[in-house]
Amino acid sequence: MRITWLLGQLRFNRQGLIPAVIQDARSKRVLTLCYLNRQALTRSLAEGKVYVFRRSQNRLMLKGETSGHIQRIRQVHVDCEGKSLLFLVQQQVAGCHAGYFSCYFRRLGARGTLVVRERRVFNPKAVYR
Amino acid sequence: MRITWLLGQLRFNRQGLIPAVIQDARSKRVLTLCYLNRQALTRSLAEGKVYVFRRSQNRLMLKGETSGHIQRIRQVHVDCEGKSLLFLVQQQVAGCHAGYFSCYFRRLGARGTLVVRERRVFNPKAVYR
């Protein structure tokens, strides 16, 4: 794949990152928003699994490397300005480290509070020791 | 709505912005990724329409203010860390200024090039004069 050409189409920010929306290919639910640098994108495309650049640890990380809840890439889309990506993925188990399928498990309710409307898929304490 | 409480749950970046994934409520297609400051979020929730903070013009902008292609907010979700939002919206006409329903109208093909797989919904030259 001509990764060099693709990288040239994208506009990474000053920190060398580009945001990627991760959407479950089957349910179409939005799972999370993550950030990739050039190296993370290159490796994601080479392996077909989402790698991110974790700023807090300053390193490349396979999404799900601890939990095994990896995201297999089915489609990659680029926005009109080359400033963000959209990955359609096959999510293993769940996408959120809090134990929910999507990181967006809290919804703003009519009273202005955040309401959890879904069940946990796994127990984080058992998965992340 | 207790907007002050909600704002306190969110982690705006150093520029005072938080990213929001915009998803069409009916088709579940991801339309775009935009950025809101506190004022844009407050107004979006008050009016039920997406306002963004346009950095290049340093001002608040109603999504679709020129084209009329506004986004009516149906659901608001907050991610597990309070670092991003997900809006499910009812999109008028199309979400992308390039004339497509979604800003992610280009897909990465097997040869490593970006392929447009959908039709334009409107002619940008006729809409943005």
B86 close to B76: Cβ distance less than 8 angstroms:
yes
ipTM, 2 dp: 0.96
A77·B104 Cβ contact <8 A: yes
Contact A33 B19 (CB under 8 A): yes
pLDDT: which is higher, A88 or B1: A88
What is the secondary structure of A74-99 as a DSSP string?
EEEEE-TTSS-EEEEEEESS-S-TTS
Q: CB–CB of B19 and A23 under 8 A?
A: no
Chain B hits for A32, Cβ within 8 Å: 79
pLDDT at site B14: 93
Look at A67-76, B3-12, B13-22, B52-61 and tell me which has the smallest mean pLDDT.
B52-61
CB-closest option in A86, A96, A106 to B104: A86
pLDDT band at A1 (very low <50, low <70, confident <90, very high): low
Give the chain B residue whose CA is nearest to the CA of A88. B30
Q: Do A106 and B5 touch (CB under 8 A)?
A: no
Q: Is A54 on the interface with B (CB under 8 A)?
A: no
pLDDT of residue A117: 86
A90-123 pLDDT, tens digit each: 999 999 999 999 999 999 998 899 999 899 999 9
Asked if the Cβ–Cβ distance from B96 to A80 is below 8 Å, we say yes
pLDDT at B1 over 70: no
What is the tens place of the pLDDT at every residue in B111-128?
A: 899 999 899 999 999 988
Q: What is the DSSP string of B76-116?
A: EEE-TTSS-EEEEEEESS-S-TTSSSSS--EEE-TTS-EEE
The whole-angstrom distance between A1's CA and the closest CA on chain B is: 5
| pLDDT at res. B72 | 98
Dist CA A15 CA B15 (whole Å): 14
The per-residue pLDDT of chain B, averaged, comes to 95
Question: What confidence category does residue B92 fall into, taking pLDDT thresholds of 50, 70 and 90?
Answer: very high
Cα A78 from Cα A63, distance rounded (Å): 20
pLDDT (average), residues A43-50: 97
Contact flag B108-A23 (C-beta cutoff 8 Å):
no
**Residue B14, CA distances (Å) to A127, B17, B41, B81 in order:** 33, 7, 16, 16
pTM: 0.96
Q: Which residues pair with A73 in a beta bridge?
A: A89
- Compare CB distances from B107 to A2, A29, A77 and report the shortest one's residue: A77
Burial class (CB in 10 A: 0-12, 13-18, 19+), B2: exposed
What tens digit of pLDDT does each residue of B37-66 get? 999 999 999 999 999 998 888 999 999 999
Cα Rg, chain A, nearest whole Å: 15
Identify the pLDDT of residue B93. Answer: 93
